Amino acid sequence: MTKELRSSALEIVVAEGFLWGNDVAISYFDAAERDMAHHWEEVIAPFLGDIRYHVAVDLASGRGRNAEFLAREAEQVICVELNPDNISALRQRFRGRDAFTIVQNDGVSLGGVSSGGVDLVYCYDAMVHFDLEIIQMYLREIMRVLVPGGHAFLHCSNYTQNPGGDFRANPHWRNFCSAEMLSHLAQRAGLRVLKLDRTPWGGIAALDCMVLLQRPA
């Protein structure tokens, strides 16, 4: 990773990553929490299929709604989050629950997560807002932290109508990305694409995509 690329991505993180704190807790996180069971049972679990995982990373964990469902399978869930408001909420939610570890990262890496020790890296309803530079760096980090044969489940934008524009002007705040771009970046990072589906969101056909990746054994 060049210093220029990392510097550019960190600037984007400052501009975008700190939008998801207490100011959106009621309008976004509370509503997302209410809908989580439906998303898990109707969308996520069928896509994951029979994958088994003992250690899972919940990337961009928010207030922990996804982590709760990951803990049904995983013995350890590492909640990785940038926003300090959400870090505080995660610590409160999972206080005294040994299955959960809270890690505050820099918004572009999985610092604090050891190499080669994670069975599943998971990111749902968050990476859809990430800039491509940030996705590219996270894919490299995913390759680093996964065990050989480990998996990553990522939910990304499939919206390409506003290149270079403010993602908040796009439907459901989708950032510029596509299924093809995601597949390319994943393979360049050394990951194998096992499954890639274009999916609707908010009544818009193929607005998103979901991918299941694997670190080659």
48: domain CATH number?
3.40.50.150
- Tell me, what's the pLDDT at 28? 82
Is the CA virtual torsion 75, 89, 34, 202 positive or negative? negative
- Could you tell me the mean pLDDT of each successive run of 10 residues in the chain, 217 residues long? 53 58 70 94 97 98 97 98 94 98 95 96 97 95 98 98 94 97 98 98 97 97
Cα diameter, the chain: 45
- Tell me, what's the pLDDT at 22? 62
Count up the domains in the chain and report the number. 1
- Tell me, what's the pLDDT at 5? 52
Find all residues with CB under 8 Å of 156, minimum gap 6, and list them. Answer: 127, 128, 130, 135, 177, 179, 182, 208, 209, 210, 211
- Tell me, what's the pLDDT at 25? 61
CB 83 within 8 A of CB 103: no
Range of the domain at 52: 3-214
Q: What span, in angstroms and rounded, lies between the C-alpha atoms of 88 and 102?
A: 10
- Tell me, what's the pLDDT at 6? 54
What is this structure's pTM? 0.91
